[in-house]
Structure 1
Protein backbone atom coordinates (compact mmCIF):
# COMPACT_ATOMS: atom_id res chain seq x y z
CA UNK A 1 0.00 0.00 0.00
CA UNK A 2 1.43 3.34 -0.92
CA UNK A 3 1.85 6.13 1.60
CA UNK A 4 0.70 9.73 1.28
CA UNK A 5 3.82 10.82 -0.55
CA UNK A 6 7.11 9.51 -1.86
CA UNK A 7 9.63 9.04 0.94
CA UNK A 8 7.02 9.81 3.63
CA UNK A 9 6.23 6.97 5.99
CA UNK A 10 2.46 6.78 6.60
CA UNK A 11 1.22 7.06 10.16
CA UNK A 12 -0.52 4.15 11.86
CA UNK A 13 -3.85 5.95 11.39
CA UNK A 14 -3.20 6.44 7.67
CA UNK A 15 -2.34 2.77 7.31
CA UNK A 16 -5.54 1.76 9.10
CA UNK A 17 -7.66 4.11 6.95
CA UNK A 18 -6.11 2.68 3.79
CA UNK A 19 -6.72 -0.91 4.89
CA UNK A 20 -10.33 -0.08 5.76
CA UNK A 21 -10.88 1.56 2.39
CA UNK A 22 -9.56 -1.54 0.63
CA UNK A 23 -11.87 -3.63 2.79
CA UNK A 24 -14.83 -1.40 1.86
CA UNK A 25 -14.13 -2.04 -1.81
CA UNK A 26 -14.08 -5.81 -1.30
CA UNK A 27 -17.32 -5.66 0.71
CA UNK A 28 -18.99 -3.70 -2.09
CA UNK A 29 -17.82 -6.10 -4.81
CA UNK A 30 -18.01 -9.47 -3.05
CA UNK A 31 -20.30 -9.05 -0.06
CA UNK A 32 -19.18 -9.64 3.50
CA UNK A 33 -19.21 -13.43 3.40
CA UNK A 34 -16.84 -13.58 0.42
CA UNK A 35 -14.51 -10.80 1.56
CA UNK A 36 -11.34 -12.61 2.61
CA UNK A 37 -8.83 -11.08 5.01
CA UNK A 38 -6.06 -12.58 2.87
CA UNK A 39 -7.35 -10.70 -0.20
CA UNK A 40 -7.39 -7.44 1.77
CA UNK A 41 -3.87 -8.16 3.02
CA UNK A 42 -2.59 -8.91 -0.47
CA UNK A 43 -3.94 -5.65 -1.89
CA UNK A 44 -2.75 -3.63 1.09
CA UNK A 45 0.73 -5.12 0.94
CA UNK A 46 0.63 -6.63 4.41
CA UNK A 47 0.37 -10.15 5.79
CA UNK A 48 -2.92 -11.61 6.92
CA UNK A 49 -1.47 -11.84 10.41
CA UNK A 50 -0.54 -8.16 10.22
CA UNK A 51 -4.11 -7.20 9.31
CA UNK A 52 -5.56 -9.34 12.09
CA UNK A 53 -3.12 -7.92 14.62
CA UNK A 54 -4.48 -4.45 13.81
CA UNK A 55 -8.19 -5.32 13.76
CA UNK A 56 -8.58 -8.59 15.69
CA UNK A 57 -10.91 -10.55 13.39
CA UNK A 58 -12.63 -10.41 10.03
CA UNK A 59 -15.88 -9.26 11.67
CA UNK A 60 -14.12 -6.41 13.47
CA UNK A 61 -12.36 -5.45 10.22
CA UNK A 62 -15.70 -5.36 8.40
CA UNK A 63 -17.34 -3.34 11.19
CA UNK A 64 -14.49 -0.85 11.16
CA UNK A 65 -14.63 -0.51 7.36
CA UNK A 66 -18.37 0.16 7.37
CA UNK A 67 -18.05 2.52 10.35
CA UNK A 68 -15.36 4.48 8.51
CA UNK A 69 -17.56 4.74 5.41
CA UNK A 70 -20.49 5.97 7.52
CA UNK A 71 -18.28 8.52 9.27
CA UNK A 72 -16.86 9.79 5.98
CA UNK A 73 -20.31 10.12 4.42
CA UNK A 74 -21.77 11.84 7.47
CA UNK A 75 -18.88 14.34 7.39
CA UNK A 76 -19.99 15.38 3.89
CA UNK A 77 -23.58 15.61 5.14
CA UNK A 78 -22.43 17.99 7.89
CA UNK A 79 -20.57 20.08 5.32
CA UNK A 80 -23.63 20.27 3.07
CA UNK A 81 -25.90 21.09 6.01
CA UNK A 82 -23.76 24.19 6.61
CA UNK A 83 -24.69 25.56 3.17
CA UNK A 84 -27.84 27.41 2.16
CA UNK A 85 -30.55 24.98 0.98
CA UNK A 86 -30.83 24.82 -2.80
CA UNK A 87 -28.02 25.04 -5.36
CA UNK A 88 -25.39 25.99 -2.75
CA UNK A 89 -26.17 22.88 -0.71
CA UNK A 90 -26.09 20.71 -3.84
CA UNK A 91 -22.71 22.20 -4.77
CA UNK A 92 -21.28 21.54 -1.30
CA UNK A 93 -22.52 17.94 -1.38
CA UNK A 94 -21.12 17.32 -4.86
CA UNK A 95 -17.73 18.81 -3.92
CA UNK A 96 -17.48 16.66 -0.80
CA UNK A 97 -18.54 13.50 -2.62
CA UNK A 98 -16.16 14.13 -5.50
CA UNK A 99 -13.13 14.78 -3.32
CA UNK A 100 -13.74 11.70 -1.18
CA UNK A 101 -14.52 9.46 -4.16
CA UNK A 102 -11.27 10.45 -5.86
CA UNK A 103 -9.27 9.90 -2.66
CA UNK A 104 -10.99 6.72 -1.43
CA UNK A 105 -12.05 4.29 -4.19
CA UNK A 106 -13.22 1.66 -1.69
CA UNK A 107 -15.60 4.19 -0.16
CA UNK A 108 -16.81 5.05 -3.66
CA UNK A 109 -17.59 1.41 -4.40
CA UNK A 110 -19.44 1.06 -1.11
CA UNK A 111 -21.53 4.14 -1.95
CA UNK A 112 -22.67 2.42 -5.14
CA UNK A 113 -23.72 -0.56 -3.02
CA UNK A 114 -25.60 1.77 -0.66
CA UNK A 115 -27.51 3.19 -3.62
CA UNK A 116 -28.78 -0.34 -4.33
CA UNK A 117 -30.00 -1.25 -0.85
CA UNK A 118 -32.58 -3.66 -2.27
CA UNK A 119 -29.88 -5.99 -3.50
CA UNK A 120 -30.82 -8.28 -0.60
CA UNK A 121 -27.43 -9.52 0.51
CA UNK A 122 -25.36 -9.27 3.67
CA UNK A 123 -24.13 -5.77 2.77
CA UNK A 124 -27.53 -4.09 2.57
CA UNK A 125 -28.27 -4.43 6.27
CA UNK A 126 -25.19 -2.45 7.23
CA UNK A 127 -25.37 0.39 4.71
CA UNK A 128 -28.56 2.11 5.82
CA UNK A 129 -26.65 4.96 7.52
CA UNK A 130 -24.58 5.55 4.37
CA UNK A 131 -27.72 5.73 2.22
CA UNK A 132 -29.40 8.05 4.76
CA UNK A 133 -26.44 10.43 4.76
CA UNK A 134 -26.20 10.37 0.96
CA UNK A 135 -29.82 11.36 0.54
CA UNK A 136 -29.71 13.75 3.46
CA UNK A 137 -26.97 15.87 1.94
CA UNK A 138 -29.36 16.60 -0.92
CA UNK A 139 -32.26 17.38 1.42
CA UNK A 140 -34.02 14.00 1.19
CA UNK A 141 -35.10 12.24 4.38
CA UNK A 142 -34.69 8.50 3.78
CA UNK A 143 -37.55 7.73 6.18
CA UNK A 144 -39.97 9.79 4.08
CA UNK A 145 -38.24 9.79 0.70
CA UNK A 146 -41.56 9.49 -1.14
CA UNK A 147 -42.42 13.01 0.04
CA UNK A 148 -39.68 14.26 -2.30
CA UNK A 149 -40.63 14.32 -5.97
CA UNK A 150 -39.61 11.35 -8.06
CA UNK A 151 -37.87 13.77 -10.43
CA UNK A 152 -35.63 15.08 -7.65
CA UNK A 153 -34.90 11.62 -6.29
CA UNK A 154 -33.99 10.40 -9.77
CA UNK A 155 -31.76 13.42 -10.33
CA UNK A 156 -29.92 12.87 -7.03
CA UNK A 157 -29.46 9.14 -7.65
CA UNK A 158 -28.29 9.84 -11.20
CA UNK A 159 -25.87 12.56 -10.08
CA UNK A 160 -24.32 10.48 -7.30
CA UNK A 161 -24.17 7.34 -9.43
CA UNK A 162 -22.54 9.12 -12.37
CA UNK A 163 -20.08 10.92 -10.14
CA UNK A 164 -19.02 7.73 -8.36
CA UNK A 165 -18.70 5.66 -11.54
CA UNK A 166 -16.66 8.42 -13.18
CA UNK A 167 -14.37 8.71 -10.16
CA UNK A 168 -13.56 5.00 -10.47
CA UNK A 169 -13.16 5.25 -14.25
CA UNK A 170 -10.81 8.21 -14.20
CA UNK A 171 -8.41 6.54 -11.77
CA UNK A 172 -6.37 5.04 -14.61
CA UNK A 173 -6.68 7.97 -17.02
CA UNK A 174 -6.21 11.18 -15.10
CA UNK A 175 -5.08 12.66 -11.83
CA UNK A 176 -7.68 13.64 -9.25
CA UNK A 177 -7.00 17.28 -10.08
CA UNK A 178 -7.68 16.67 -13.78
CA UNK A 179 -10.78 14.56 -13.17
CA UNK A 180 -12.40 16.72 -10.48
CA UNK A 181 -13.95 19.44 -12.68
CA UNK A 182 -15.46 16.85 -15.02
CA UNK A 183 -17.06 14.96 -12.15
CA UNK A 184 -18.43 18.14 -10.58
CA UNK A 185 -19.92 19.37 -13.85
CA UNK A 186 -21.49 15.99 -14.59
CA UNK A 187 -23.12 15.88 -11.16
CA UNK A 188 -24.26 19.50 -11.47
CA UNK A 189 -25.85 18.82 -14.85
CA UNK A 190 -27.54 15.66 -13.58
CA UNK A 191 -29.15 17.65 -10.78
CA UNK A 192 -30.68 19.94 -13.39
CA UNK A 193 -28.68 23.06 -12.63
CA UNK A 194 -27.76 25.22 -15.58
CA UNK A 195 -24.37 26.66 -16.37
CA UNK A 196 -20.96 25.76 -14.99
CA UNK A 197 -20.41 24.31 -11.53
CA UNK A 198 -20.06 27.19 -9.03
CA UNK A 199 -16.48 28.38 -8.76
CA UNK A 200 -15.36 26.36 -11.79
Structure 2
Protein backbone atom coordinates (compact mmCIF):
# COMPACT_ATOMS: atom_id res chain seq x y z
CA UNK A 1 0.00 0.00 0.00
CA UNK A 2 1.47 3.38 -0.98
CA UNK A 3 2.16 5.90 1.81
CA UNK A 4 -0.38 8.59 0.76
CA UNK A 5 -3.14 5.99 0.40
CA UNK A 6 -2.30 4.46 3.79
CA UNK A 7 -2.27 7.93 5.37
CA UNK A 8 -5.69 8.68 3.86
CA UNK A 9 -7.09 5.42 5.27
CA UNK A 10 -5.56 6.12 8.68
CA UNK A 11 -7.02 9.65 8.72
CA UNK A 12 -10.45 8.22 7.87
CA UNK A 13 -10.15 5.72 10.71
CA UNK A 14 -9.10 8.46 13.12
CA UNK A 15 -12.01 10.68 12.13
CA UNK A 16 -14.55 7.86 12.51
CA UNK A 17 -13.01 6.89 15.87
CA UNK A 18 -13.21 10.52 17.02
CA UNK A 19 -16.89 10.68 16.05
CA UNK A 20 -17.64 7.47 17.96
CA UNK A 21 -15.66 8.65 21.00
CA UNK A 22 -17.71 11.86 20.90
CA UNK A 23 -21.00 9.98 20.74
CA UNK A 24 -20.31 7.14 23.18
CA UNK A 25 -17.18 8.07 25.10
CA UNK A 26 -13.90 6.23 24.91
CA UNK A 27 -14.78 3.53 27.44
CA UNK A 28 -18.06 2.61 25.72
CA UNK A 29 -16.62 2.50 22.20
CA UNK A 30 -15.23 -0.88 21.21
CA UNK A 31 -12.62 -1.70 18.60
CA UNK A 32 -15.38 -3.62 16.80
CA UNK A 33 -17.58 -0.48 16.76
CA UNK A 34 -14.80 1.48 15.07
CA UNK A 35 -13.96 -1.35 12.66
CA UNK A 36 -17.62 -1.58 11.62
CA UNK A 37 -17.84 2.20 11.11
CA UNK A 38 -14.88 2.18 8.73
CA UNK A 39 -15.78 -1.06 6.93
CA UNK A 40 -12.91 -3.16 8.28
CA UNK A 41 -12.76 -6.34 10.28
CA UNK A 42 -11.50 -6.03 13.84
CA UNK A 43 -8.23 -7.67 12.72
CA UNK A 44 -8.01 -5.23 9.80
CA UNK A 45 -8.39 -2.26 12.13
CA UNK A 46 -5.81 -3.67 14.53
CA UNK A 47 -3.42 -3.89 11.58
CA UNK A 48 -3.57 -0.08 11.40
CA UNK A 49 -3.69 0.59 15.16
CA UNK A 50 -2.51 -2.19 17.49
CA UNK A 51 -4.82 -1.31 20.42
CA UNK A 52 -7.73 0.95 21.29
CA UNK A 53 -5.34 3.00 23.44
CA UNK A 54 -3.03 3.42 20.42
CA UNK A 55 -6.03 4.60 18.41
CA UNK A 56 -6.99 7.09 21.12
CA UNK A 57 -3.41 8.41 21.23
CA UNK A 58 -3.45 8.77 17.43
CA UNK A 59 -6.78 10.67 17.57
CA UNK A 60 -5.32 13.09 20.13
CA UNK A 61 -2.14 13.51 18.07
CA UNK A 62 -4.20 14.18 14.92
CA UNK A 63 -6.27 16.81 16.75
CA UNK A 64 -3.06 18.50 17.89
CA UNK A 65 -1.59 18.37 14.37
CA UNK A 66 -4.73 19.97 12.93
CA UNK A 67 -4.61 22.71 15.58
CA UNK A 68 -0.97 23.46 14.77
CA UNK A 69 -1.81 23.58 11.06
CA UNK A 70 -4.41 26.29 11.70
CA UNK A 71 -2.03 28.28 13.90
CA UNK A 72 0.68 28.11 11.25
CA UNK A 73 -1.67 29.80 8.78
CA UNK A 74 -2.41 32.81 11.00
CA UNK A 75 0.66 33.16 13.20
CA UNK A 76 2.25 35.97 11.15
CA UNK A 77 -0.90 38.05 10.78
CA UNK A 78 -1.53 40.92 13.21
CA UNK A 79 -4.79 40.93 15.21
CA UNK A 80 -7.70 42.29 13.22
CA UNK A 81 -10.22 41.48 10.53
CA UNK A 82 -7.70 39.88 8.12
CA UNK A 83 -6.44 37.48 10.79
CA UNK A 84 -9.99 36.71 11.91
CA UNK A 85 -11.06 35.89 8.34
CA UNK A 86 -8.02 33.67 7.77
CA UNK A 87 -8.58 31.90 11.11
CA UNK A 88 -12.24 31.29 10.26
CA UNK A 89 -11.36 29.95 6.81
CA UNK A 90 -8.59 27.70 8.15
CA UNK A 91 -10.79 26.32 10.92
CA UNK A 92 -13.68 25.73 8.52
CA UNK A 93 -11.43 23.85 6.10
CA UNK A 94 -10.23 21.61 8.93
CA UNK A 95 -13.78 21.12 10.22
CA UNK A 96 -15.16 20.24 6.79
CA UNK A 97 -12.37 17.72 6.21
CA UNK A 98 -12.56 16.17 9.70
CA UNK A 99 -16.14 16.17 11.05
CA UNK A 100 -15.39 13.45 13.60
CA UNK A 101 -12.71 15.60 15.17
CA UNK A 102 -15.14 18.52 15.36
CA UNK A 103 -17.71 16.33 17.09
CA UNK A 104 -15.08 15.16 19.57
CA UNK A 105 -13.89 18.70 20.28
CA UNK A 106 -17.49 19.78 20.93
CA UNK A 107 -18.05 16.97 23.42
CA UNK A 108 -16.81 18.79 26.55
CA UNK A 109 -19.30 21.59 25.86
CA UNK A 110 -22.24 19.32 25.07
CA UNK A 111 -21.97 16.18 27.24
CA UNK A 112 -20.73 16.10 30.82
CA UNK A 113 -18.14 13.46 31.50
CA UNK A 114 -17.42 12.39 27.92
CA UNK A 115 -14.91 15.07 27.07
CA UNK A 116 -11.22 14.30 27.20
CA UNK A 117 -9.15 16.74 29.29
CA UNK A 118 -6.28 16.13 26.87
CA UNK A 119 -8.31 17.96 24.21
CA UNK A 120 -8.14 21.27 26.07
CA UNK A 121 -5.21 22.32 23.88
CA UNK A 122 -7.56 22.33 20.89
CA UNK A 123 -9.76 24.96 22.51
CA UNK A 124 -6.66 26.96 23.37
CA UNK A 125 -5.42 26.67 19.76
CA UNK A 126 -8.73 27.94 18.38
CA UNK A 127 -8.65 30.93 20.72
CA UNK A 128 -4.99 31.54 19.91
CA UNK A 129 -5.80 31.54 16.17
CA UNK A 130 -7.92 34.62 16.85
CA UNK A 131 -5.27 36.16 19.13
CA UNK A 132 -7.40 35.67 22.25
CA UNK A 133 -6.05 34.91 25.71
CA UNK A 134 -9.01 33.89 27.92
CA UNK A 135 -7.36 35.45 30.97
CA UNK A 136 -6.88 38.91 29.47
CA UNK A 137 -9.39 39.21 26.63
CA UNK A 138 -12.16 41.74 26.74
CA UNK A 139 -15.41 39.89 27.56
CA UNK A 140 -17.11 40.92 24.30
CA UNK A 141 -14.19 39.70 22.17
CA UNK A 142 -13.97 36.43 24.10
CA UNK A 143 -17.72 35.78 23.72
CA UNK A 144 -17.64 36.65 20.00
CA UNK A 145 -14.73 34.25 19.34
CA UNK A 146 -16.33 31.43 21.32
CA UNK A 147 -19.64 32.10 19.53
CA UNK A 148 -17.97 32.06 16.12
CA UNK A 149 -16.19 28.78 16.93
CA UNK A 150 -19.41 27.20 18.17
CA UNK A 151 -21.29 28.33 15.07
CA UNK A 152 -18.47 27.04 12.88
CA UNK A 153 -18.56 23.61 14.53
CA UNK A 154 -22.33 23.22 14.45
CA UNK A 155 -22.70 24.51 10.90
CA UNK A 156 -19.91 22.36 9.46
CA UNK A 157 -21.40 19.26 11.10
CA UNK A 158 -24.80 20.21 9.66
CA UNK A 159 -23.22 20.75 6.24
CA UNK A 160 -21.83 17.21 6.40
CA UNK A 161 -25.18 15.80 7.46
CA UNK A 162 -26.92 17.60 4.58
CA UNK A 163 -24.11 16.78 2.11
CA UNK A 164 -23.65 20.50 1.47
CA UNK A 165 -20.02 21.07 2.48
CA UNK A 166 -19.08 22.92 -0.71
CA UNK A 167 -22.35 24.83 -1.10
CA UNK A 168 -22.46 26.03 2.50
CA UNK A 169 -18.78 26.92 2.99
CA UNK A 170 -19.08 30.58 1.96
CA UNK A 171 -22.17 31.01 4.15
CA UNK A 172 -20.46 29.46 7.16
CA UNK A 173 -17.48 31.80 6.64
CA UNK A 174 -19.81 34.81 6.44
CA UNK A 175 -21.79 33.75 9.52
CA UNK A 176 -18.67 33.27 11.62
CA UNK A 177 -17.10 36.50 10.37
CA UNK A 178 -20.32 38.34 11.29
CA UNK A 179 -20.31 36.68 14.75
CA UNK A 180 -16.85 38.16 15.27
CA UNK A 181 -18.30 41.64 14.73
CA UNK A 182 -17.08 42.13 11.17
CA UNK A 183 -19.33 42.91 8.27
CA UNK A 184 -18.74 40.71 5.28
CA UNK A 185 -19.03 41.98 1.71
CA UNK A 186 -22.62 42.44 0.66
CA UNK A 187 -23.93 42.52 4.25
CA UNK A 188 -26.81 44.85 4.91
CA UNK A 189 -25.59 47.89 6.81
CA UNK A 190 -27.99 50.25 8.53
CA UNK A 191 -25.23 52.62 9.70
CA UNK A 192 -22.58 53.49 7.08
CA UNK A 193 -20.07 54.14 9.89
CA UNK A 194 -20.20 50.41 10.75
CA UNK A 195 -18.67 49.33 7.44
CA UNK A 196 -15.25 47.78 7.95
CA UNK A 197 -12.40 48.21 5.52
**TM-score bracket for this pair, using the shorter chain length:** 0.7 to 0.9
Are 1:110 and 2:99 matched, yes or no? no
Distance apart, 1:103 and its partner CA = 1.4
Q: Secondary structure at the match of 2:19?
A: helix
* Match of residue 91, structure 1, among 78, 85, 95: 85
In the TM superposition, 1:23-102 aligns within 5 A as 23-102=17-96
Q: d(CA) in 1 for partners of 2:184 and 2:155?
A: 20
Distance 1:111 1:123, change over 3 A: closer
**What is the total number of aligned residue pairs between the two structures?**
183
Is 1:149 aligned with 2:138? yes
Question: Deviation above 6 Å: which 4+ runs of structure 1?
Answer: none
Mapped to 1, the partners of 2:20 and 2:99 lie a distance apart of 11
1:137 Cα deviation after fit: 0.4
Structure 1: segments with no counterpart, 5+ residues: 1-9
8 Å CA contact retained: 1:25, 1:106: yes
- Partner residue, 2:129: 137
- Residue in structure 2 matched with residue 7 of structure 1 by the alignment: none
Using the TM superposition, give the Cα deviation of residue 120 of structure 1 relative to its aligned residue in structure 2, in angstroms.
Answer: 5.6
* Larger Cα-atom Rg: 2
SS of 2:135 mapped into structure 1 = helix
2:17 & 2:164 partners in 1: Cα distance? 23
The normalised TM-score by structure 1 is: 0.84
3-state secondary structure, aligned to 1:123: coil
Aligned partner of 1:167 among 129, 148, 156: 156
